[in-house]
Each structure stands twice: as C-alpha cells, then as structure tokens.
C-alpha cells in the first residue's frame, strides 16, 4: 500500500516519499510548515487515497494528553449514585473514550491526525511517547490494558510555533512542507479552480508573490540595524567593519531595538548611552 498523491492534492515527490517511509517504518509522520501549506489536508487526502477511515484530534492550548486516551467522569457517577441509578454499578459507563482509544480498537487500520501539536503545553508530546511508541495504554479505573488491533498511520502537524522535545522528535519521521514556489502554486490553484482564466491567474500570482516578498516591520528593523552597525564600523576602520558584518543580527539587540523604535515613533536609545561609562554625579 503506497500513497501516490491524489487529483485534489498536489504532493511533491519528497512528501510522497515521507508518507510511504512513515508507513513502512511504522513511525508517526511529523509534518511542519507554514500555515496554509496543506498539512491538515494531507491527512485527509492520504486517508481518502488509501481507503482508510480518518480520525482527527485538533489540539488547543488547553488540551491534555489524557484526553486523547480517555476521561473518567467522576462527577456524573457521583450524581447518579445519589439518584439511585443502576448504571453506577459498572464504572465503564463513565469512561469517555478518546481519539487514540478509538483508533486502537478500530477493526481496520485508520489514519490518525494529531493537528497542531505545538499549540499544547510543552510536556504534551512527552506525555504521549509511550502510547505512540508501543501502541498501548493502561486504564486504571477498569484495570485494562488497551492495545491497538491495527497500528494506525499517525500524522502529526505543527506550525513550528514552539520547539518539540528531542525525545519526541526521535520517534517521528519528519518532513517540512516548503511554501509552494510559483510553479507549484499555479498547479494548486488549477486543481481547485480548473476553469480559471490564465490572464487572471498570472496577474493574481504576480500580486501574491510581490506582497509575500515585502519585508515586514521586524525584518526591516533588523536590516536597518545591521546597516547602521556597518556604517558605524566603517568609521572605525576596516577590521571593525569586517567584525560587524560577520556577526549575526541576534548579537546586536541594541541596533535592532533602535531601528524598531524609530519605526514606531518612539525616541530611539543611543548606542553610546548604553555602552559608554556613566560620568559620576559629583567630582571625586
């Protein structure tokens, strides 16, 4: 069973290779990329192309790993016990199965999408290490060990908003979806709008990439700060100029901050004020 793409999704050769490698190696596929590059849609198209059911778990900042396994509704059980409900006798009536449990007990292999994992707490990926690695987990309330009948194809997406733990990354097959170049972007547009006029598409593509290449305020501030450092170094001599140009902008926070302040209308802080020794208030 191999993923060869679909008529509704433009997949590069590298992306198809990553999907098939993850299936062969039986490892989760971690997909990173900018928002809108088709990470979530990839799972949908893989499931459709391979004829597998798709289970989706969309992560939020408040999502906990336990919710993907199961949750025990103790409040409902307490209420039912006070009302004399017969369901109280079986604790299984108060176990809410999560998406991973549903994927593990499915009678056929499924595609499991864990969407935008970087939105959750930093420890969230580590809390799923054992479950995704061994494809099993323990239910303490019922003393059951839940094992996957068929190992699901796990696709995990991330917008790269925060770094993921190294231990988690080592257990995944990783692929980064690059932002489409003009040729690939044209193919994507033609897939979704097959009847679009070529003149309109060409004009829209040109405007889109011109706007995308416009530097934002932070980038302009960084470039402006670097230029001013180079000018200051030039007045000090060739060796200072070379040293300033070789240093990354991250080493010049004062210049970047000064440029950003000038763009926002705030009074810039002079570099000399930060680095020159302060004169004593009274003579000594």
For the cut 90, the answer to whether the pLDDT of residue 131 exceeds it is yes
- Residue 6 is given by DSSP the state B
Q: Is the pLDDT of residue 108 over 50?
A: yes
- Residue recorded with tokens 């995990």: 156
Lowest-confidence range among 44-53, 205-214, 264-273?
A: 264-273
Mean pLDDT of 214-224: 63
pLDDT grade, residue 98 (50/70/90)? very high
Q: What is the pLDDT of residue 86?
A: 85
Q: Would you state the pLDDT for residue 240?
A: 52
pLDDT at residue 257 above 70?
Answer: no
Q: Is the pLDDT of residue 6 over 90?
A: no
Strands 95-97 and 70-72: antiparallel
pLDDT of residue 222: 57
Distance CA 254, CA 274 (A): 8
Say whether pLDDT at 83 is over 50.
Answer: yes
pLDDT at 266 over 60: no
- Place 84 in a pLDDT band, splitting at 50, 70 and 90: confident
Of 101, 112, 119, residue with least CA distance to 63: 119
Q: What average pLDDT does this structure show over 173-198?
A: 89
Predicted confidence (pLDDT) at residue 251 exceeds the cutoff of 60: no
In the chain, where the domains are located: 13-179, 217-270
Per-position b or e across 82-119, b if 16+ CB within 10 A of its CB? eeeeeebeeeeebbeebbbbbbbebeebbbbbbbbbbb
More confident call, 220 vs 241: 220
Query: What's the pLDDT at 271?
Result: 40
Token representation of residue 261: 């302040």
Query: Contact at 8 Å (CB) between 268 and 258?
Result: yes
Q: What is the pLDDT of residues 150-165, one digit of tens each?
A: 999 999 999 988 899 9
Name the DSSP class of 265: T
% of the chain with per-residue pLDDT over 90:
52
Q: For the chain, what is the mean pLDDT?
A: 83
Q: What is the mean pLDDT of residues 91-96?
A: 93
pLDDT of amino acid 130: 92
Higher pLDDT, 55 or 194: 55
Question: Could you tell me the CATH superfamily of domain 13-179?
Answer: P-loop containing nucleotide triphosphate hydrolases (3.40.50.300)
Decide if pLDDT at 138 tops 60. yes
């Amino acid at each position: 069973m191999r993923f060869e793409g679909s008529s509704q999704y433009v997949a590069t050769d590298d992306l198809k290779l990553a999907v098939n490698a993850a299936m062969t190696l039986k490892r989760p596929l971690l997909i990173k990329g900018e928002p809108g590059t088709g990470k979530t849609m990839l799972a949908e198209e893989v499931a459709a192309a391979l004829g597998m059911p798709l289970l989706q778990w969309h992560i939020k900042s408040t999502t906990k790993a336990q919710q993907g396994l199961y949750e025990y509704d103790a409040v409902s059980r307490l209420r039912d016990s006070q009302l004399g409900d017969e369901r109280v006798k079986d604790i299984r009536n108060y176990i809410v199965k999560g998406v991973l449990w549903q994927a593990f007990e499915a009678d056929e292999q499924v595609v499991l999408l864990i969407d935008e994992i970087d939105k959750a707490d930093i420890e969230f990926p580590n809390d799923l290490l054992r479950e995704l690695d061994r494809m099993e987990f323990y239910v303490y309330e019922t003393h059951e060990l839940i094992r996957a009948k068929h190992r699901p194809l796990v696709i995990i997406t991330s917008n790269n908003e925060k770094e993921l733990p190294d231990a988690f990354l080592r257990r995944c097959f990783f692929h980064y979806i690059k932002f489409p170049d003009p040729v690939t972007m044209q193919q994507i547009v033609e897939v979704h709008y097959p009847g679009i006029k070529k003149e309109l598409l060409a004009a829209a593509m040109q405007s889109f990439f011109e706007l995308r290449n416009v530097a934002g305020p932070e980038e302009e501030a960084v470039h402006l700060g670097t230029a001013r450092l180079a000018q200051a170094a030039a007045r000090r001599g060739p060796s200072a100029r070379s040293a300033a140009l070789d240093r990354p902008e991250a080493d010049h926070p004062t210049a970047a901050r000064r440029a950003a302040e000038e763009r926002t209308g705030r009074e810039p802080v002079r570099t000399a004020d930060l680095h020159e020794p302060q004169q004593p208030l009274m003579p000594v």
